[in-house]
Amino acid sequence: MPHEHFDKERPPVILAAQYGRTWLIDELLKRGADLNIRDKRGVAVLHEAAKLCRFEICKNLIAAGATKNVRDKQDNRPLDLTSHFIQKGNFEKYYTPYNVNMTLDHERYLQERLKVRGLLSEKNARPM
């Protein structure tokens, strides 16, 4: 079930990853959501969770069978996106105007970034 979000169709499970709603992702997966679904840009749930360094979500998705090396249409893997918001100003500038319900926590991002990178770098990553 796609969701119109600006000019891109974004499946609810991808939006839940973006907003850090672990409980919602778990519920959607229980109800049969495809954890490797992609939006129009080829972005999968794991891409969105990795970009925002949401460790618990990444860990749960991988445990449920998400493909670590999935590539979007720009040939990015989730691991490639873990430095997207390394500079604090970029983090706030990108999300504040468009996502008023999103909690921004750059300190959490930096702390979880290394854990997410380690999780996505493990040898058992499956290519896709």
User: Per residue of the chain (128 residues), what is the pLDDT tens digit?
Assistant: 444 444 457 899 998 998 889 999 999 999 999 989 999 889 999 999 999 999 999 999 999 999 999 999 999 999 999 988 887 676 666 655 455 556 667 788 889 999 999 999 977 545 44
pLDDT for 10 equals 82
pLDDT for 93 equals 64
pLDDT for 102 equals 61
Angle between helix 22-30 and helix 55-63 axes, rounded to 10 deg? 20
pLDDT for 106 equals 79
pLDDT for 84 equals 82
User: For residues 71 and 41, is the Cβ–Cβ distance under 8 A?
Assistant: no
pLDDT for 100 equals 53
Give the tokens for residue 27: 């519920």
pLDDT for 9 equals 74
Name all domains of the chain by residue range, CATH numbers in brackets.
4-121 (1.25.40.20)
Written as one letter, the residue type at 8 is: K
- Pairwise CA distance, residues 24 & 68, whole Å: 21
